[in-house]
Amino acid sequence: MTDLDRRADDLDRLAIDTVRFLAVDMVEAANSGHPGAPLGQAAMGYWLWTRHMRHNPSDPRWPNRDRFVLSCGHASALLYALLHLAGYQLSMDELKRFRQFGSHTPGHPEHEPDFGIETTTGPLGQGIGNAVGMAIAERMLAARFNRDGFPVFDHRVWVHASDGDLMEGIASEASSLAGHLRLGKLNVLYDDNEISIDGPTDLSFREDVAKRYEAYGWHVHRVENGSDDLAALDAAMQAAREETDRPSLLVVRTHIGYGSPKQDSADAHGSPLGPEATKETKRNLGWPEDATFHVPDGAQDRFAQAAHQGARAQLEWEAMAARYAAAHPEAAAELAERRAGKLPAGWTDHLPSFPGDGDPLATRKASGKVLGAVAPQLPMLVGGSADLTPSNNTNTDAYSDFSADNPSGRYLRFGVREHAMGSIMNGIALSGLLIPYGGTFLIFSDYMKPPIRLAALMKQRAIYVFTHDSIFLGEDGPTHQPVAQLASLRAVPNLLVFRPADGNETAAAWKIAIENRTGPSALALTRQGLPPIPAAAERAADGVPRGAYVLADCDGEPDLLLLATGSEVWVCMEVQKRLAADGVACRVVSMPCWELFGAQTADYRDEVIPPSVSLRLGVEAGASLGWHRWVGPAGDVIAVDRFGASAPWKDVAKAYGFTVDAVEERARGLLG
Ligand SMILES: Cc1ncc(C[n+]2csc(CCOP(=O)(O)OP(=O)(O)O)c2C)c(N)n1
Ligand SMILES: [Mg+2]
């Protein structure tokens, strides 16, 4: 009798070792990757996937599936092994192509819903934030759609998190909010292996994590031997499921690199075991030492049972959904529309327009008016602010607050937690059924840059309401005045960055952001009032979707182009009037979204910014970085390439050269 035959008595142990060695073999084949965490977490992953998580590998898009988030994305080989064994469409060939170009098994998991990969992880802590967002989405959708006897949305969110996840500040932000909101369907399995890259965690991390989570209002349950003790894992997962009023943290003590000569050492973390240690590990665990990518008979049995149960659960759910459609046709129709990705017909008719001859209006206030007008039409729009609601103008009469006691609320009080806000928005957006927005000052977009980048990488529709968008926020001074932020946001692929010039451009930007299904959008909005631009009242609706458009023009070819965004556009309009009065042929181009303009045909771009006109002046109250793409080698830019200053905004405008007089002078200087 071989070792394997003997082990086949115990299908669970056999399957767990199969997970372990698929992961080890993937890392060996790629000659890179992380074997330690999969070896330590295989038992908890296996037990979760086969006994407690409700999922249907043959339909990874079932809306009521439990969500699995591998927050410690470096353990990707574990996820791929589980997906493969569970029957998702991740083939053995894909496992063999781990970390290779174009494979479905990249170094860290990348959101791929058809393969069961719920979110992109790797930057530690993000998965926990995403999971909090997923649990919020579940509760919001349940409140909206469930009816007596019809629990259409009723699923859990399961997370694997590592020491690094819990060291990251975002985990604290997100977990604090999750405790406050009493997200009882959120369960985090903490891989407490006491090792990170530098060595034992007590080099830098000695707090009592359990007590910390208890203080957040979580239910905490410990497992002492989580690499082995299946009964204890089962009891912990059961306890998490039974706890409905608080999120659960299962503190699972495991051994990194379990069974290998590098067990319990940081050496097991992030490099292949190597051929000798791999063989030794296989011998230690009774695995045939020369077998690679080996799936013994029986290793998938429990997975198959779980898949069968998941498929049956989905069938029951579908039958319930059919009865629901008969009993509650309106709600069912709304859900069907959302699942099809449709927005309610006619919602754009409610977009406000702003008079071209009205009073000055800050674009943040215009944004608030847009929200107030469209939110009642768009029940999928949910959002909030990181404690800057009155400044960001992100609330509307259409909402009540989302809270533990009021799950039908749509307004999210994120607290002063920008980083978690961004990550939670990603989790909400990943439902595909809700459109999240979140507000803070543009300067603090830096606090949420990692989730913004991930939203862009995952092409998720998240909308950032970034007010106080320049040095013209004034008295709060350089600590609060963004200079580098527009340029750095524009450098993020797939992110649309809007800087609208008035109310009408703001409304047009919101429309695009809400309809944009290929990535997130950031709206940079002013604190200070801006005079309305009559020409934008007529042209913004057509112009903003093209990214840049002509707002004021001359007869024939211009001598000079004034290119501007946001609060600098009206200034250029005034300068253009003065120059025109002097017979200078000058054109003003408003450029609210560079990314959209860059995506237009060359014909359109050349029409707006004719290559033959080399005298060009860019005007924007932010870093000049990026502007030379538009102004060309002979052009000039009025920008802010130093920090701002604390003073009333009109004084700042004077000191930094953004008054009508100053811009006119620079323009005349260009003309020679
Ligand atoms: C935000 C972030 N910082 C740094 C890293 C690099 N990194 C990957 S894993 C890791 C820590 C490893 O410790 P742990 O999370 O406990 O994982 P384990 O070694 O136990 O698998 C670090 C610093 C990262 N992925 N994300
Ligand atoms: Mg660790």
Asked whether 36 lines ligand 1 (CB < 6 A), one says yes
Residue 248, helix vs strand vs coil:
strand
Q: Which CATH architecture has domain 347-524?
A: 3-Layer(aba) Sandwich (3.40)
Average of per-residue pLDDT across 545-559: 97
Q: What is the DSSP string of 280-316?
A: HHHHHTT--TT--S---TTTTHHHHHHHHHHHHHHHH
**Domain 3-310 belongs in CATH node 3.40.50.970:** yes
Residue whose entry in the numeric block shows the structure tokens 């047009």: 508
Q: Record the tokens describing residue 224, joined without a space.
A: 């002492």
Ligand nearest to the CA of 72: 1
Average of per-residue pLDDT across 199-205: 98
Q: What is the 3-state secondary structure (H, E, C) of 387-446?
A: CCHHHHCCCCCCCCECCCCCCCCCEEECCCCHHHHHHHHHHHHCCCCCEEEEEEEHHHHH
The Å distance, Cα 254 to ligand 2 centre, comes to 9
The Å distance, Cα 164 to ligand 1 centre, comes to 5
Average of per-residue pLDDT across 299-324: 98
Asked whether 267 lines ligand 1 (CB < 6 A), one says no
Asked whether 195 lines ligand 1 (CB < 6 A), one says yes
Asked whether 535 lines ligand 1 (CB < 6 A), one says no
Say which amino acid occupies 464: Y
Give residues whose Cβ lies within 5 Å of ion ligand 2: 162-163, 193, 195-196
Residue-wise pLDDT tens digits, 467-508 = 999 999 999 999 999 999 999 999 999 999 999 999 999 999
The Å distance, Cα 600 to ligand 2 centre, comes to 48
Residue-wise pLDDT tens digits, 409-430 = 999 999 999 999 999 999 999 9
Q: Report which ligand 1 atom has the smallest distance to the Cα of 37.
A: 21
Res 455 pLDDT > 80: yes
Q: Going by CA atoms, what residue is nearest to atom 8 of ligand 1?
A: 74
Q: DSSP label at 382?
A: E
Q: Going by CA atoms, what residue is nearest to atom 19 of ligand 1?
A: 196
Contact 660, 574 (CB under 8 A): yes
The Å distance, Cα 345 to ligand 1 centre, comes to 46
Ligand nearest to the CA of 194: 2
Q: What is the 3-state secondary structure (H, E, C) of 59-98?
A: CCCCCCCCEEEECCHHHHHHHHHHHHHHCCCCCHHHHHCC
Average of per-residue pLDDT across 560-585: 98
Residue 200, helix vs strand vs coil:
strand
Q: Report which ligand 1 atom has the smallest distance to the Cα of 72.
A: 15
Among 27, 124, 167, the mutation site with the greatest number of ligand 1 atoms within 8 A of its Cβ is 124
Q: Report which ligand 1 atom has the smallest distance to the Cα of 73.
A: 25
Which residues are marked as active site? 418
Asked whether 38 lines ligand 1 (CB < 6 A), one says no
Asked whether 164 lines ligand 1 (CB < 6 A), one says yes
Q: DSSP label at 477?
A: -
Contact 387, 416 (CB under 8 A): yes
Asked whether 417 lines ligand 1 (CB < 6 A), one says no
What percentage of the chain exceeds 70 in pLDDT? 99
Res 103 pLDDT > 80: yes
Question: Distance (Å, rounded) from C-alpha 213 to C-alpha 523?
Answer: 35
Residues 6+ apart with CB under 8 A from 342: none
Question: Distance (Å, rounded) from C-alpha 666 to C-alpha 614?
Answer: 15
Note whether 3-310 and 547-671 share their fold: yes
Domain ranges across the chain: 3-310, 347-524, 547-671
Average of per-residue pLDDT across 127-136: 99
Ligand nearest to the CA of 128: 1
Contact 399, 102 (CB under 8 A): no
CA distances (Å), 470 to each of 381, 385, 478, 497, 654, in order?
A: 27, 19, 10, 14, 14
- pLDDT given for residue 672 in this prediction: 87
Residue-wise pLDDT tens digits, 505-526 = 999 999 999 999 999 999 999 9
Average pLDDT, the chain: 97
Residue-wise pLDDT tens digits, 65-91 = 999 999 999 999 999 999 999 999 999
The Å distance, Cα 442 to ligand 1 centre, comes to 29
Residue 556, helix vs strand vs coil:
coil
Residue-wise pLDDT tens digits, 557-572 = 999 999 999 999 999 9
Average of per-residue pLDDT across 617-625: 98
Among 44, 76, 269, the mutation site with the greatest number of ligand 1 atoms within 8 A of its Cβ is 269
Asked whether 196 lines ligand 1 (CB < 6 A), one says yes
Res 5 pLDDT > 60: no
Residues 6+ apart with CB under 8 A from 35: 23, 24, 27, 77, 257, 260, 268, 272, 273
The Å distance, Cα 576 to ligand 2 centre, comes to 62
Asked whether 35 lines ligand 1 (CB < 6 A), one says no
The Å distance, Cα 665 to ligand 1 centre, comes to 54
Q: Identify the CATH number of the domain defined by range 547-671.
A: 3.40.50.920
Q: What is the DSSP string of 98-166?
A: TT-TT-SS-SS---BGGGTB-S---STTHHHHHHHHHHHHHHHHHHHH-BTTB-SS---EEEEEEHHHH
Asked whether 487 lines ligand 1 (CB < 6 A), one says no
Q: Could you report how far apart the first and last alpha carbons of the chain are, in Å? A: 94
Is the pTM of the predicted complex or chain greater than 0.85?
yes
Q: Report which ligand 1 atom has the smallest distance to the Cα of 36.
A: 21
Query: Counting Cβ atoms within 10 Å, is residue 211 exposed (0-12), middle (13-18) or buried (19+)?
Result: exposed
Q: Report which ligand 1 atom has the smallest distance to the Cα of 197.
A: 12
Pairing mode, strands 549-552 and 560-564 = unpaired
Among 24, 70, 72, the mutation site with the greatest number of ligand 1 atoms within 8 A of its Cβ is 72
Q: What is the 3-state secondary structure (H, E, C) of 124-136?
A: CCHHHHHHHHHHH
Residues 6+ apart with CB under 8 A from 175: 128, 132, 188, 213, 216, 218, 247, 249
The Å distance, Cα 90 to ligand 2 centre, comes to 27
Q: DSSP label at 51?
A: I
Average of per-residue pLDDT across 122-135: 98
Give the pLDDT band (50/70/90) at residue 4: very low
- pLDDT given for residue 9 in this prediction: 57
Average of per-residue pLDDT across 35-61: 98
Asked whether 197 lines ligand 1 (CB < 6 A), one says yes
Asked whether 71 lines ligand 1 (CB < 6 A), one says no
Give the pLDDT band (50/70/90) at residue 454: very high
The Å distance, Cα 164 to ligand 2 centre, comes to 6
